[in-house]
Amino acid sequence: MQVLLSGAAGFIGSHLVDRLLQDGHRVLGVDNFITGDAVNLAHLTGAANWSFVQADATSNDFVARMTDLGPFDLVLHLASLASPKDYLAYPLETLESGSTATRNMLEIALRFEARFLITSTSECYGDPLEHPQRESYWGNVNPIGPRSCYDESKRFAEAITMAYHRKYGLRTNIARIFNTYGPRMKLDDGRVVPAFLSQALGAKPLTVFGDGTQTRSFCFVDDMVEGLCRLMLSDEREPVNLGNPQEITLLEFAERIQRMLGTSSPLEFHPLPENDPTRRQPDISKAKRTLSWEPKVNLESGLATTVAYFQGRLAAH
């Protein structure tokens, strides 16, 4: 297939590009580098079936520009400012990536009668009152809090995606991604895995927010990419959770990092950020049923691969 993929220089986007090329598809990647990193695509220089355009998916001429580069069989919208550090620094751009950019990508898909997939987020559930979170749960989101620029941008993105499906019959897929980790995360990303690893490898205190009893469920990027590939070819039009249901407290996770790296870095506790979710665990029954998918990589193996990557990046610096 001919694929258009926004956010190609991002963490998950670049891994998905690799997989699509491996599977024999032709991929046009797009990124504006507001948070993406060109180093994530450097290994593809000169690769067959690969091309890249630096462009902003929110721009007025984006649809026309990409239409001239078509046709496309598959349109994948992964462009997003997913790290709290990034979306708090760029709140308006975050809202635009979920609204204007999503509509632009949907318009391109509509013009070519292409399949469309958007990566949404577990943040649609907010600080959940249901646990674990199923796709049928409507969420507990503060629409005006500091995190709302990200949460509401994704909720809007889901709404407009379903509107295009219902109005035009567009073949759409929505992936609600839970905490994903692995190589190509930015060293200064701000999310928990790169934060803990960068701190531990730099012999700095590990920053734990609150008392550390809040939970997360970490999914290795290879598993996530497999889930996305299965979803983009499926007939499931409503949201599907993709994540690892193995739940762990952030305190336990920090202590695991300490043991794994044999570091003497102490834990340093800070106030919990406003509206930070206290529990996060996906119910992946739907993914198992409709995609025959579930994570395969355990936390120890995934972390070992991620640590090796971070060590290499730190040595390069």
Residue 166 is predicted with a pLDDT of 98
* Nearest-angstrom CA–CA distance, 310 and 182: 9
In sequence order, the β-bridge partners of residue 133 are: 282
Instruction: Give me the chain's average pLDDT, please.
Output: 94
**Could you give all domains of the chain from N- to C-terminal order, each with its CATH number?**
2-181+219-245+281-296 (3.40.50.720), 192-213+247-279+304-316 (3.90.25.10)
What's the chain's Rg over C-alpha atoms?
Answer: 19
Query: Residue 275: pLDDT above 80?
Result: no
Q: Which residues contact 52 (CB under 8 A, 6 or more apart)?
A: 8, 28, 29, 30, 31, 41, 44
Catalytic residue at 87? no
Annotated catalytic residue within 87, 125, 150, 181? 150
Mean pLDDT over 259-287 rounds to 88
The Cα–Cα gap between 118 and 103 comes to 11
User: Does 270 or 101 have the greater pLDDT score?
Assistant: 101
Going through the chain in order, the beta strands assigned E by DSSP cover 2-6, 26-31, 50-54, 74-77, 115-121, 172-177, 180-181, 206-209, 215-217, 219-220, 240-242, 247-249, 267-270
Give the sign of the dihedral formed by CA 294, CA 297, CA 298, CA 303: negative
Q: Among the ranges 10-19, 181-190, 307-316, which has the highest mean pLDDT value?
A: 10-19
Residue at 248: amino acid letter? I
Residues 200-213 have a mean pLDDT of 88
pLDDT in tens, 180-192: 999 999 888 878 8
pLDDT (mean) for 262-267: 86
- Reported confidence tier of residue 282, pLDDT bands at 50, 70, 90: very high
Percent of the chain with pLDDT over 70: 100
CB 245 within 8 A of CB 298: no
- Closest by CA to 81, choosing from 241, 190, 228, is 190
Extract the tokens encoding 301. Answer: 């193996």
Reply yes or no on whether the pLDDT at 100 is more than 90.
yes
On the question of pLDDT at 41 being above 80, the answer is yes
Identify the pLDDT of residue 203. 87
Residue 315 predicted with pLDDT over 90 = no
Q: Say if residue 283's pLDDT is above 80.
A: yes
User: Could you write out the DSSP letters of every residue in 42-110?
Assistant: GGGTT-TTEEEEE--TTSTTHHHHHHHT---SEEEE-----SHHHHHHSHHHHHHHHTHHHHHHHHHHH
Percent of the chain past pLDDT 90, that is, above it, reads 79
> Stretch 244-270: mean pLDDT, rounded?
90
The single-letter DSSP state of residue 39 is G
Torsion of CA 8, 234, 221, 27, to 10 degrees: -30
- The pLDDT score that the predictor gives to residue 187 is 82
pLDDT digits (tens, 9 = 90+) for 124-181: 999 999 999 999 999 999 999 999 999 999 999 999 999 999 999 999 999 999 999 9
Q: What is the pLDDT of residue 192?
A: 87
Distances (CA, A) of 141 to 82, 110, 124, 219: 16, 31, 7, 23
Tens of pLDDT, residue by residue over 220-248, are 999 999 999 999 999 999 999 999 999 99
Per-residue pLDDT of 156-172, as tens digits, reads 999 999 999 999 999 99
